[in-house]
Amino acid sequence: MGDGATRRGFLVRGFAGIATLALAGCDSISQQPWLDPLLRSAEALTKRVQRLFAGDHALAQEFTKADIAPMFRANGTLDPGTQEYREHAQKNFADWRITVGGLVEHPLSLSMDQLRKLPARTQITRHDCVEGWSCIGEWTGAQMAHILALAQPKEQARYVVFYCADPMSDSDGDGINDSDFYYESLDMVEATHPQTLLAYGLNGQDLDIAHGAPVRVRAERQLGYKQPKYVKDIVLVDSLEKIGGGKGGYWEDQGYNWWGGI
């Protein structure tokens, strides 16, 4: 009798031990320095294959007005909250300027009025958040391709970096974010895609603060974090290495993939 109980005890302890080892194994594997680069090695392949099929110009699906979500969810920063941004908001962004610089022949500084006079596009598209949800909205804005054509990118320009007005960190601990401003990047293919816009309108109205006023990026073949809000400065570069944490965007520096097509 005692024999059986001991065996049972051994089995129970054995299984508990194996379970603990397996769990500890998962945790310790997750901390191995070789793991991250190994897992990340799939990203280049994924990007290459997706681009192979999507090409440079395949358009994201466009929907009808009937499909527009009654409440388009706002995510990430809902209000940049800085003194500077508030003053712009009070003046209805009349003095907001978007600069285009870096590796371009003709640096630009555009007022909102000038931006609105550029060739515009209105598109009803599906916004896909990296978290998993989707919302359909009608976006109006200037085509990025046209803005870049005005600035004339130099030959060595490979990426378009967007610097934004929303701070992501709170440096002095007062509960208000004041540093670590959001930034993102697209490559030239995605930036010059016909549906890539500097958007200033959502569902027929001026873009509101929660959705990125006065102007945000729409890159319809990419996830939401690749479409920064509160855009101020646009810089063309040949490498992402020396910008921010070197990964090409705020969330990329936190571990997210640069390729946001999946």
Nearest 5°: phi and psi at 11? -60, -45
d(CA 253, CA 162): 15
Nearer to other proteins by C-beta: 122 or 254? 254
58 or 94: whose CB is closer to other proteins?
Answer: 58
The residues in 6-45 that bind other proteins, with binding defined as CB under 8 A, are: 23, 26-27, 30, 36, 38-43, 45
* Nearer residue to other proteins within complex by CB, 220 or 233: 220
Does residue 225 contact residue 260 with C-beta atoms inside 8 Å? yes
Interior angle at CA 160, CA 157 and CA 166, nearest 5: 150
Q: Which two tokens mark 218?
A: 């729409």
Positions in 126-165 near other proteins (CB under 8 A): 126, 128-136
Q: Please state the closest distance from residue 23 (CB atom) to other proteins, in A.
A: 7
Region binding other proteins by CB under 8 A among candidate stretches 56-64, 159-167, 197-205, 208-216: 56-64
First-to-final CA distance of the chain: 59
Query: How many residues lie near other proteins (CB under 8 A)?
Result: 52
Closest CB to other proteins among 78 and 256?
A: 256
Pick one of 28, 33, 34, 61: the residue that binds other proteins (CB under 8 A): 61
Of residues 206-235, which lie at the interface with other proteins (CB under 8 A)? 220-223
- Shortest distance in whole angstroms from residue 238 CB to other proteins: 24
φ, ψ for residue 4, nearest 5 deg: -60, -45
CA dist 260 and 128 (Å) reads: 10
Q: Are 100 and 115 in contact (CB under 8 A)?
A: no
Are 237 and 248 in contact by the 8 Å Cβ rule? The answer is: no
- Contact, 190 vs 54, CB < 8 A? no
Q: Which residues bind other proteins (CB under 8 A)?
A: 1-4, 23, 26-27, 30, 36, 38-43, 45-46, 50-51, 53-55, 58-61, 63, 67, 69, 71, 73, 126, 128-136, 220-223, 251, 254-257, 261-262
